[in-house]
């Protein structure tokens, strides 16, 4: 598989573990080949689209079969992209995303279940406790709901879903809602938006814990152990009353 690998950067700084994996993406003797790119900018969706557009150009020119992305704050091991490509092929998915915890003490991840709540703005996020009870690589059939995937570390194989009828794009959707006399912000992030668009176009989605990662910030949050909440206490069937959430 010929893979365009992107590490979008906000500036010239990035986590060492993320940079190491980007510079050493393949295992020795891997059958895969790579085209590395690392666009830089402060507008998240825009810089993702720069990388995505370059990869689509390479695919249409017959130079690439797939695309992969690792964020500059997600640490993983050298050779990660070989493993991702192999697992993508084994799973039969079009898009495969690594489960990455959201930075914080709650243990929720940015892998979520769509259409399981009455509010499309608040999909149920899987927790680390829940994901460790699922198969190492799981599909929508395994969770019984459409998946919303994370872009912290992911790979896809190109197909008509990416460009038909128009190019699929990353975009953030924001809103302000007034409830109980106060305004509350709402956001549907670019990764979940991308997932919805891809599924509507027929792409098969899957998520995996096969790759161990650390999501860096003030500390490092792992995806290979159970910690934090048992279930999402903000969105979905286990959500606490809103007044308790605001305490």
pLDDT value for 12: 87
| Confidence (pLDDT) at 130 | 97
How does DSSP classify residue 102?
P
pLDDT digits 0-9 by tens, 152-205 = 999 999 999 999 999 999 999 999 999 889 999 999 999 999 999 999 999 999
**To the nearest whole number, what is the mean pLDDT of the chain?**
95
Q: What pLDDT does 29 receive?
A: 95
Query: What's the pLDDT score for residue 151?
Result: 96
Count of domains observed in the chain: 1
Radius of gyration over every alpha carbon of the chain, rounded to an integer in angstroms:
18
Can you give the residue range of the structural domain that contains 226? 2-245
CATH of the domain at 112: 3.90.550.40
Cis amide bond preceding 165, omega within 30: yes
Q: Is 44 helix (H, G, I), strand (E, B) or coil?
A: helix
Q: Beta strands 153-157 and 66-70: pairing type?
A: antiparallel
Residues with pLDDT less than 70, the chain: 242-247
Handedness of CA 124, 128, 133, 137 (dihedral sign): positive
CB within 8 A of 175, min separation 6: which ones?
121, 185, 186, 187
**Which pLDDT score is estimated for 243?**
60
**According to DSSP H, which parts of the chain are helical?**
16-23, 44-60, 80-91, 128-131, 140-143, 190-200, 242-245
At 245 the pLDDT is 64
pLDDT attached to residue 244? 63
């Amino acid at each position: 598989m010929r893979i365009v690998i992107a590490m979008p950067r906000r500036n010239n700084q990035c986590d060492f573990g993320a940079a190491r994996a980007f510079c050493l993406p393949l295992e020795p003797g891997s059958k895969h080949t790579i085209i590395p790119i690392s666009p830089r900018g402060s507008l998240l969706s825009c810089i993702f689209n720069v990388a995505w557009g370059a990869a689509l150009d390479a695919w249409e020119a017959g130079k690439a079969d797939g695309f992969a992305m690792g964020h500059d704050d997600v640490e993983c091991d050298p050779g990660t992209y070989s493993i991702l490509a192999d697992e993508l092929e084994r799973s039969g998915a079009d898009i495969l995303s690594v489960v990455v915890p959201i930075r914080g003490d709650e243990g929720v991840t940015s892998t979520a279940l769509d259409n399981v709540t009455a509010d499309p703005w608040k999909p149920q996020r899987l927790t680390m406790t829940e994901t460790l009870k699922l198969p190492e690589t799981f599909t929508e059939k395994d969770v019984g709901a459409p998946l919303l995937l994370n872009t912290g570390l992911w790979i896809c194989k190109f197909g008509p879903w990416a460009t038909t009828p128009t190019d699929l794009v990353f975009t953030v959707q924001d809103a302000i809602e007034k409830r109980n006399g106060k305004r509350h912000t709402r956001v549907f992030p670019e990764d979940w938006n991308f997932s919805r668009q891809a599924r509507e176009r027929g792409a098969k989605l899957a998520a995996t814990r096969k790759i161990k990662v650390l999501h860096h910030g003030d500390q490092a949050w792992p995806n290979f152990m159970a910690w934090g909440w048992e279930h999402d206490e903000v969105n979905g069937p286990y959500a606490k009353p809103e007044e308790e959430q605001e305490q």
